[in-house]
Amino acid sequence: MKRLYIFDLDNTLTESRTLIDRETAGLLCRLMKSAHVAVISGAAFWQFEKQLLSGIDCVDCFHNLTILTTSGAEMWQYDGAWKKVYSNMIPEDIRRRTIVLVATVAGVPLGKESEYIEDRGSGITYSALGVTAPPEKKNPWDRDQKKRKALVEKIAPRLPELSIRIGGTTSIDFTLKGIDKAYGVSELAKRLDIPLSECVFVGDALFPGGNDNAVERLGIDMIQTSGPKETEQILQSFIS
């Protein structure tokens, strides 16, 4: 058995932006009784609260759970309440420039309540169909990622300060240069004093160009999943 299990969120533990189901939540609780668990995503912490934490009832195990938001740019751990351990904020001027550039190139509205661009401080996410689009619309929209790759090719040369990754089914994530899921996993392993050989990562996009692929450079064990149903089987194998 490993000592640290890291999971992607969207399309791994849950469908995109939907609440974790009871079976998966129960399996996570069982795993947390004997090992440390981390969940990493481009999402902000409030989205983790809505999508993951509200569906998990084993609060007594939260000392064994770490949340890595905005692709590892922030770390949250539980000590009677959820507390931020670190945060790699994107400077405000770069965030403003990024939002205007993405909106202009993608042809979507600007504004604080934009359905398409979320400013999370430590990360920015562009959602091509809007944040409230249902999974049945998002899943088939850009399976080969060609639409988003074309957008990234236009944007990336003008944002040298940022790391830009295609994420989820319709999104593009922006963090400071060098901040990605490998960074988050590495930071957590160091803080827990767990060697990378005792870690395993489960994600739906471990393939080259996928938003989970960055962890490959750490040399840790990785397991590709096709979605939440297969992740349930993977969780069962960890527990048994």
Tokens standing for 168?
A: 């989820």
Percent of the chain with pLDDT over 70: 99
**Averaged confidence pLDDT in the chain:** 95
Look at residue 113 and tell me whether its pLDDT is greater than 70.
no
User: For the range 208-215, what are the long-range contacts, defined as Cβ-Cβ under 8 Å and sequence gap of 24 or more?
Assistant: 209/145, 209/149, 209/166, 210/166, 211/42, 211/71, 211/165, 211/166, 211/167, 211/168, 211/173, 211/181, 212/8, 212/181, 214/165, 214/180, 214/181, 214/182, 214/183, 215/6, 215/181, 215/182, 215/185
Tokens standing for 11?
A: 């399309």
Amino acid at position 125, single letter: T
Look at residue 77 and tell me whether its pLDDT is greater than 90.
yes
pLDDT at 112: 61
pLDDT at 211: 83
Q: What is the mean pLDDT of residues 203-217?
A: 90
Of residues 46, 162, 174, the one with CA closest to residue 106:
174
Q: What is the mean pLDDT of residues 39-62?
A: 96
pLDDT at 78: 98
pLDDT at 167: 85
Look at residue 30 and tell me whether its pLDDT is greater than 80.
yes
Percent of the chain with pLDDT over 90: 88
Band (87; pLDDT cuts 50, 70, 90): very high
Angle (CA) 136-45-189 rounded to 5° is 105
Look at residue 16 and tell me whether its pLDDT is greater than 90.
no
What's the pLDDT tens digit per position in 186-209? 999 999 999 999 999 999 999 888
Cβ distance 239 to 30 under 8 Å?
yes
Look at residue 110 and tell me whether its pLDDT is greater than 90.
no
Domains of the chain: 4-88+179-239 (3.40.50.1000), 92-176 (3.30.1240.20)
